[in-house]
Amino acid sequence: MKSSISKPTLFLPKDGEMPLGRLPSSSFIRESGMISLNRWQNLAISYCEFDQAQFSQSLFSELHIKFPEKLNQSVTKRKAEYLAGRCSVQQAFQAAGLAWEPPGIGRHGEPCWPAGINGSISHSKALAVAVVSKREDYPFLGIDVEELISQNVAKQIQSEVLLPDELHLSKSIKLDETEFLTWVFSAKETLFKAIHKYVGKYFGYECAQVIDFKLESGKILLELTVNLAPGLHKGRRFTCITSKLSDHFLTLIASSG
Ligand SMILES: CC(C)(COP(=O)(O)OP(=O)(O)OC[C@H]1O[C@@H](n2cnc3c(N)ncnc32)[C@H](O)[C@@H]1OP(=O)(O)O)[C@@H](O)C(=O)NCCC(=O)NCCS
């Protein structure tokens, strides 16, 4: 059954203008823009559709994005995703009126944001998204995009991603099983990105549980099942916003604390 989750509004360019938060399109960047998810203040969310087949190393300097040494040995797919992710960050910075300072890569793979800035990045094969804010506005910020998980993959990962109570919840929600799994998987990855910097170590999908999934408003309520860090105790809740972007599942956590 189809979900009733609404599509985000995209800011469209005015005639002949290159609006803030839109990159010049090229063979690599096919389309880009800002995403408006109602009622989020002081938050710049951007997307960028890209074509891996058109990637070339020279794009890094052309697009003013520093090539990280860590990617020296990476395959083209990874370099293209990284570049598209940073392009998305760049347009979010521009839309937020922030001076462009490309985030580096931290010890755990996390983006290293400039002082006072918080953000998050996600990419699939052909779509990258980024969210940026002042850290004081949203100390917890995470974003994720996923393609629908296939039935084969669902069989392999379901028991790792879903807790027994979540399986139970899935039965009462009018969504296909794979769609439910995709949303929950994405929401938990978003939570990981939003709080990992405070936890400082890896934690698995069993550390948070979906306790409510409101299809109408597109909200997933997550609760921590364990004490992860000071202030991130068992029972602490985070609201995750869901939205469809093209064929992708987009989830976002933006919490002021
Ligand atoms: C780190 C992880 C969340 C990334 O998600 P993914 O679906 O593999 O990939 P995405 O494209 O969505 O995101 C990749 C981006 O995440 C960001 N990222 C990586 N590690 C991160 C971390 N520790 N904290 C915050 N962001 C991180 C990076 O910006 C990366 O892109 P980049 O390398 O191009 O900069 C995932 O690989 C992972 O380890 N998940 C298991 C942990 C988990 O989710 N537990 C559930 C907790 S309830």
**196-230 tens-digit pLDDT:** 999 999 999 999 999 999 988 899 999 999 999 99
The pLDDT, as a whole number, for residue 13 is: 35
Cα of 183 to ligand 1 centre, how many Å? Answer: 15
Question: What percent of the chain lies above the pLDDT cut of 90?
Answer: 78
Q: What would the mean pLDDT of 120-148 be, rounded to a whole number?
A: 96
pLDDT range class, residue 38, cuts 50, 70, 90: low
How many angstroms separate the first and last alpha carbons of the chain? 35
For the Cβ of 127 lying below 6 angstroms from any atom of ligand 1, the answer is no
Q: Which stretches of 40-176 are DSSP H helices?
A: 59-62, 76-96, 151-161, 164-171
Dist. CA 23–CA 32, nearest whole Å: 6
For the Cβ of 187 lying below 6 angstroms from any atom of ligand 1, the answer is no
Higher pLDDT, 15 or 230: 230
pTM beyond 0.75: the answer is yes
pLDDT exceeds cutoff 60 at 189: yes
Lowest mean pLDDT among 9-18, 46-55, 95-104: 9-18
Beta bridge pairs of residue 127:
49
146 is in an annotated binding site: yes
Dist. CA 27–CA 18, nearest whole Å: 17
pLDDT range class, residue 22, cuts 50, 70, 90: low
pLDDT range class, residue 37, cuts 50, 70, 90: confident
For the Cβ of 166 lying below 6 angstroms from any atom of ligand 1, the answer is no
Classified as helix, coil or strand, 76 is: helix
Cα of 36 to ligand 1 centre, how many Å? Answer: 23
Ligand 1 pocket: which of 147, 192, 238 to mutate (most atoms within 8 A of CB): 192
Which residue's C-alpha comes closest to atom 46 of ligand 1? 205
Q: Which atom of ligand 1 is nearest to the CA of 128?
A: 11
Classified as helix, coil or strand, 45 is: strand
The pLDDT, as a whole number, for residue 72 is: 94
Averaged pLDDT score across all residues of the chain:
89
Structural domains of the chain in order of their starting residue, each with its CATH number: 9-140 (3.90.470), 145-255 (3.90.470.20)
